[in-house]
Every structure is written in C-alpha cells, then in structure tokens.
Amino acid sequence: MERHANYALVGVLTTFLLIGGIVFVLWLGNFQAGDKKDPYRIIFQGPVRGVGKGGDVQFNGIKVGEVTNVRLAPQDANKILVDVEIDHNTPVRTDSLGSTEMQGISGLNAVSISAGSTRMPLLRDVSKDKVPIIPSKPNALASLLQSGGQMVESATTALDRVNSLLTDRNIANLSGAINDLKQTTGALAANRAMFGNAASAIAKLDATAGDARVTMGSVRSLVEGDGKRAVANTADAAAELKATLAEARTVLSTLAVQGKTVGSSTLPQITDTMRSLQETSDDLDTLVRSIRQDPRGTLLKRSSRERELQK
C-alpha cells in the first residue's frame, strides 16, 4: 500500500507540473505577442558618440526600445546607420526625427525620436523600405562641440599668424614707430601756443576781410551814385567844349575866305566865341583838377550843391 501511494503522489505531481509548464508556455507566448517590436533605421550625418548596441531608444523622453546595431554606411563613411527596435504601439510618424541625447555624466547617449505632427501618417504604414528610415537632426550639444572645435582651430591658426608677425625685427620697427609718434605728439604740444596765435591771426584776418567788404560796398555805392553824376557832368562839359571848338573852326574858316573883308559885325562874333571857349575850358580844367585832388569831397560837394539847386 505504501509503495502504491508513493507512485500515485509522483504521478499527481508530474501531472500538475506538466499542466503548469503548458500554461507558462502559453502565457509567455501571449506576452511576447503583446510586446511586438517594429524595426527602424536612423541615418545620422557625422559622428555618433556614446551610442552602441543595447542603448536606449526614447520617444518623448520615455524608453520605447533599444539599439540593435550601429555601423557605417557602405557607400558613404560619413553616414552612420543605427538600427533600432521600438514598441509596436509607438506612433512614429513621417515627420519624426531622430537625434542623440546625453544621459547624465556617464558619457553615454540615448537615441531620441521626436513625436512629429499628429496630422501626419505613421511611418510604418507609408514607408516602401523593408526597414522604415527615420531622418535625423544634429544634436545641439554635438553641434556646439563641433563649432567649438572649429573655433579652437581658427584661434590656433590666428595665433600662429600673430606669432609669425611678432618677430624681433617687426617688434623693433613697431617700437620705433611708437617713439616717432611720441616725438610728434610732444612737438605738437610744444607748438600749441603758435597754433593759438595763428588762430587769432586768422580771426583778425576774417574781421579785416569783413571791413573790406563793407568799404567796397561803400565805394561801389559812391561810384554808382555820385561818381556817375560826376562822369555825366564831365561828359556834358566835354560835349560843350567840342561844340565851341566846332563853332570856332567855322568862324576861322569864314575869316580865311573873307580875308581882309572882315567887317565890324564879324569881330564881335569872334570875340564872343573865343570867350565862351575859354570859359568852358577853364571850367573843365577846374573840375578835373578837383576830382584828382579830392574825389570824394568833390563828388559830395557837387551832390550837395545839386540838392540845394533842386530845392
């Protein structure tokens, strides 16, 4: 009885274990079926630091998968192919972008995928590739580090050029130029008083020029006023003198024709003519002499005399 009872217990336990194993296998299969993964490929331009197989893949900061492979592109070594597997329920859309994101201070980077626009279709539904390709965008920190490297390189080049310029000969020439500049500055400071005198002289010259302009205006007004009248008077006197001379020539011609037949009527005519000629000549000579000795006084005197006559 005891031996048969042990066999029965072993049989019961074996049956329960077999049923439990079948249930576990079915449950595990259902779990794996519910945890379906979708493969994607992200193409990065340039180096991808800190990303390796087994690394995390994040979607909006949440882990949704892992990196399965990292390799160079066969046709272009500047491109890095990163294969990832992401949960089937993750909505990767056609405008989603992949990038790298630093995790703490460990130096490891996770692959980050942006959500994209909800109006765009899912990438796995419209992609014609066997493995849908997610385009990438440069990481901000990586771009900064790359730019920093370029800046350091440029700064190094600039320093090399500066060092090539700062030779002993160039430094000596620069020192000489500085000394010459100091001497020139000292000379300018020493001659500051001379510059002040020159400025004062220029100011006086400006004042003199102003006075000259006023004087020229007065002379111009004098010439255009009284001067014109004096010239007119002189012209009148000259015309009168010409007329008298013409009259004298006529009388003399008459005398030459008549000869000794000049009578008593002709002599008084000759006497009057010569007297008029003498008076006119004297007036003209006096006027010319007065203008030469005192032009302004003569003109002003004649102007005042004309005003008195007009009154």
| Chain segment 207-264, per-residue pLDDT in tens | 655 654 555 555 456 555 555 565 556 556 556 655 655 665 565 555 555 544 444 5
pLDDT band for 310, please (50, 70, 90 cuts).
Answer: very low
| Pair 136, 97: CB distance under 8 Å | yes
Residue 308: its pLDDT value, please?
47
Residue 107: its pLDDT value, please?
66
| Pair 89, 122: CB distance under 8 Å | no
pLDDT band for 96, please (50, 70, 90 cuts).
Answer: very high
Residue 67: its pLDDT value, please?
92
- pTM of the predicted model as reported, rounded to 2 decimal places: 0.40
pLDDT band for 294, please (50, 70, 90 cuts).
Answer: low
Residue 255: its pLDDT value, please?
53
With 70 as the cut, is the pLDDT of residue 297 above it?
no
Residue 262: its pLDDT value, please?
47
Residue 197: its pLDDT value, please?
60
Name the least confident of 36-40, 64-68, 182-186, 234-238. Answer: 234-238
Report the share of the chain in percent with pLDDT over 90: 13
| Bigger pLDDT: 33 vs 206 | 206
Overall average pLDDT of the 65-93 stretch: 91
Overall average pLDDT of the 62-88 stretch: 91
pLDDT tens digits, 264-291: 555 555 556 556 655 665 666 666 566 6
With 70 as the cut, is the pLDDT of residue 112 above it?
yes
Alpha-carbon dihedral sign for residues 35, 41, 42, 44: positive
With 70 as the cut, is the pLDDT of residue 81 above it?
yes
pLDDT tens digits, 129-177: 888 999 988 776 656 655 656 676 777 887 777 777 777 777 777 788 8
